């Protein structure tokens, strides 16, 4: 699924689908609505949302409220080509919500869409960072570039989108602004905007590059990687590839036009990607034979691979008294590999999944678990019905043996207590007797203990059996004998008979009359 700009359909761009066998389908042509209300000229690609639909932006068109110009849109399109505009830029007074978005959207870990605009925002028009939900009803401008004097915070992210790193923060670039006016790398936390690195030139020399046109990626080593359109250490202005740590330390990895005749290319407009071999791959707009190149850069990242080791692959809770308190087992998940482990989900599966619960302190994507680090998964048995039950915990991640599984099993049991007769009488020194019946449920063979409360003063209450193992499917009985003497006060009393299994107590009552 992708989209194109200009010279297609009505001339304002399309959304298309291409199958692995090369079958091409045009799903939507922008400019299909009057006055370009559906948007025009989409520069960025699409992302797939958690709902299975695709989301993107147009750099022009839409229905701007506060401008006669069309400042672009955010749209949703189904796999069958039904397009819905979910937000029109410049819908706020002064276009503080930004305009002319050219970068791809990002699906954040919270399920919201994040992106940048090249223009709008404050009066300087330096662009914005925004957040919007999938319906477009909740739109927030998170930051306006050029909010600092001299635009030291950067300006015009142009076609550079955001990346959410494993620390949960967002990172990106601006082609202009910064402390030296040559572009900026920034970090956006949940509470603050932080300029991380300002590109600079000493006279005409820019050894670390300048004007980052493209966005960043996070490598499997946790560092950020990107390109600059210009600068480099070859006394030229052909661009670079760089690495940046999350605290803002930059290293130039390569300066373009390092080969005679610039056969290695120059002026990279797009982000690099990390291949499965750990190398960086990308393109340049010019150089090579003349019209650009496709390049790779060895980084050594391929030596870092994660692996998962579980302290246990199976938990059997055994016979489990419903409502009882037990020692809860824990499973330690260790990244026994050399690379960062990115866990995408930990979830219960299986027929009886509702009868078990799971909690953990494991980081979930985009956060990662470092090599040698561990986290804890805590399963619990919370049965909603009786009998043998089973489920599993499935862990999905970027390790070779994903998904990993922890099998869960247990037998949920219970019991009931009854006393007959429901009332009895002591008269003339004759004792009263009751039959206590404890019935196992779910095949219970645990040990039950009996006790009696409410015995009258100066009377003796004795049990023929005060403790016994339940018999699975057969009820067990005990005889309660209450015997008074001449000092036993007459009256009506309530006897409470309790049976206890582990920490669970079930009770029944019976009346007693002393005459």
Mind giving me the DSSP string for 157-187?
A: -TT---EE-TTS-EEEEESB-STTSS-EEEE
308-412 to CATH, choices 1.20.1090.10, 2.60.40.10, 2.70.98.60, 2.30.30.110: 2.60.40.10
Give the integer Cα–Cα distance in Å for 95 and 65: 9
For Cα atoms 368, 370, 371, give the angle at the middle one, nearest 5 degrees: 140
Query: pLDDT confidence of 43, banded at 50, 70, 90?
Result: very high
Residue 210 burial (CB < 10 Å; 0-12/13-18/19+)?
A: buried
Q: Which CATH number fits domain 421-514: 2.60.40.2310, 3.40.50.300, 1.10.10.10, 1.10.3720.10?
A: 2.60.40.2310
Mean pLDDT of 31-55: 93
Predicted confidence at residue 276, as pLDDT, reads 77
pLDDT number for residue 203: 60
pLDDT tens for 392-434 read 999 999 898 999 999 999 999 999 999 999 999 988 778 999 9
In this model, does residue 7 exceed pLDDT 60?
no
Q: What is the pLDDT of residues 16-25, one digit of tens each?
A: 999 999 999 9
Question: What is the value of pTM for the model shown?
Answer: 0.64
- Check pLDDT > 50 for residue 174: yes
Q: What is the pLDDT of residues 253-295, one digit of tens each?
A: 999 999 999 999 999 999 999 987 889 999 999 999 889 999 9
Mean pLDDT (the chain) is 91
Whether 478 contacts 466, CB under 8 Å: yes
User: Which pair of structure tokens corresponds to residue 479?
Assistant: 């005889």
pLDDT in the model for residue 158: 87
Tokens at residue 123, please? 């009066």
Strands 423-426 and 504-514: parallel
User: Is there a common fold for 308-412 and 421-514?
Assistant: yes
DSSP letters for 248-261 = S-EEEEEESS-SGG
**480 pairs with which residues across the strands?**
434, 463
The CATH code that applies to domain 1-144 is 2.130.10.10
365-401 pLDDT per residue, tens: 878 898 899 999 999 998 888 999 999 999 999 898 9
Q: Cα–Cα distance between 225 and 214 in angstroms, integer?
A: 10
Residue 10's pLDDT is what?
Answer: 67
Instruction: For residue range 432-465, list pLDDT tens digits in order.
Output: 999 999 999 999 999 999 999 999 988 999 999 9
pLDDT of residue 2: 58
- Token output for 171: 């990172």
In this predicted model, which residue has the larger pLDDT, 166 or 477?
477
**Stretch 121-140: mean pLDDT, rounded?**
95
Residue ranges with strand state E in 199-340: 206-210, 217-218, 224-228, 230-232, 240-244, 250-255, 273-274, 280-284, 293-297, 308-310, 314-321, 331-335
Supply the DSSP symbol for 369: B
Residue 445 is given by DSSP the state -
**463-514 tens-digit pLDDT:** 999 999 999 989 999 999 999 888 888 899 999 999 999 889 999 999 999 9
Find the mean pLDDT for residues 175-200: 95
Q: Which two tokens stand for residue 444?
A: 């219970």
What pLDDT, on the 0 to 100 scale, is given for residue 218?
93
Q: Alpha carbon of 7 to those of 31, 56, 69, 190: distances in Å? A: 12, 19, 21, 41
Q: With beta carbons less than 8 A apart as the criterion, state whether 161 and 174 touch.
A: no
Sequence length of the chain is 515
CB 89 within 8 A of CB 119: no
Rounded Cα gap, residues 12 and 437, in angstroms: 82
Where are the domains positioned within the chain?
1-144, 153-303, 308-412, 421-514
Q: Beta-carbon neighbour count of residue 2 at 10 Å?
A: 14
**H/E segment holding residue 84:** strand 83-88
Q: What are phi and psi of 151, to 5 degrees?
A: 55, 40
pLDDT of residue 89: 95
Query: How many Cα atoms within 13 Å fall on the side-chain side of residue 184?
Result: 27
Whether 5 shows a pLDDT value over 60: the answer reads no
Q: Is the pLDDT of residue 9 over 60?
A: no
- The confidence band for 1, taking pLDDT boundaries of 50, 70 and 90, is low
């Amino acid at each position: 699924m992708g989209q194109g700009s200009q010279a297609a359909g009505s001339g304002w761009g399309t959304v298309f689908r291409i199958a692995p066998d090369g079958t091409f389908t045009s799903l939507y042509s922008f400019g299909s609505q009057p006055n370009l209300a559906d948007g025009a000229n989409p520069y960025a690609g699409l992302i797939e949302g958690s709902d299975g639909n695709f989301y993107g932006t147009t750099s022009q068109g839409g229905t701007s409220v506060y401008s006669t110009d069309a400042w672009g849109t955010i749209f949703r399109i189904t796999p069958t080509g039904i397009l819905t505009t979910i937000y029109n830029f410049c819908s706020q007074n002064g276009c503080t919500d930004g305009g002319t978005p050219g970068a791809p959207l990002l699906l954040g870990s919270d399920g919201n869409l994040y992106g940048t605009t090249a223009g709008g925002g404050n009066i300087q028009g330096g662009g914005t960072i925004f957040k919007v939900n999938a319906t477009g009803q909740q739109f927030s401008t998170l930051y306006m570039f050029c909010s600092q004097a001299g635009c030291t915070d950067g300006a015009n992210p142009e076609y550079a989108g955001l990346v959410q790193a494993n620390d949960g923060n967002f990172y990106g670039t601006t082609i202009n602004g910064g402390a030296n006016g040559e572009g900026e790398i920034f970090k956006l936390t949940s509470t603050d905007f932080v300029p991380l690195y300002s590109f600079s030139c000493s006279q005409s020399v820019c050894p670390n590059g300048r004007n980052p046109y493209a966005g960043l990626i996070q490598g499997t080593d946790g560092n950020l990687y990107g390109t600059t359109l210009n600068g480099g250490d070859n006394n030229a202005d052909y661009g670079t590839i760089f690495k940046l740590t999350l605290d803002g330390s930059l290293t130039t990895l390569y300066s373009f036009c390092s080969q005679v005749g610039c056969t290695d290319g120059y002026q990279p407009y797009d982000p690099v990607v990390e291949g499965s071999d750990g190398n960086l791959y990308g393109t340049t707009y010019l150089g090579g034979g003349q019209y650009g190149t496709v390049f790779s850069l060895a980084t050594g990242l391929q030596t870092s691979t994660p692996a998962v080791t579980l302290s246990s692959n199976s938990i059997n809770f055994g016979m489990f008294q419903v409502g009882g308190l037990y020692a809860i087992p824990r499973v330690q998940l260790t990244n026994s590999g050399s690379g960062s482990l990115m866990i995408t989900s930990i979830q219960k599966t299986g027929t009886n999944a509702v009868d078990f619960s799971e909690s953990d302190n494991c980081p979930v994507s985009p956060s990662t678990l470092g090599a040698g680090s561990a986290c804890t998964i805590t399963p619990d048995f919370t049965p909603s019905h009786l009998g043998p039950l089973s489920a599993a915990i499935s862990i999905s991640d970027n390790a070779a043996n994903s998904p990993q599984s922890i099998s869960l099993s247990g037998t949920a049991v219970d019991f009931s207590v009854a006393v007959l007769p429901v009332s009895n009488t002591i008269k003339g020194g004759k004792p009263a007797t009751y039959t206590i019946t404890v019935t196992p449920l779910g095949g219970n063979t645990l040990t039950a203990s009996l006790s009696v409360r409410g015995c009258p003063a100066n009377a003796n209450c004795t049990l023929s059996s005060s403790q016994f193992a339940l018999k699975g499917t057969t009820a067990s009985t005990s005889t309660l004998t209450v015997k008074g003497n001449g000092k036993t006060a007459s009256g009506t009393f309530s006897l409470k008979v309790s049976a206890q299994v582990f920490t669970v107590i079930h009770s029944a009552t019976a009346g007693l009359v002393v005459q």
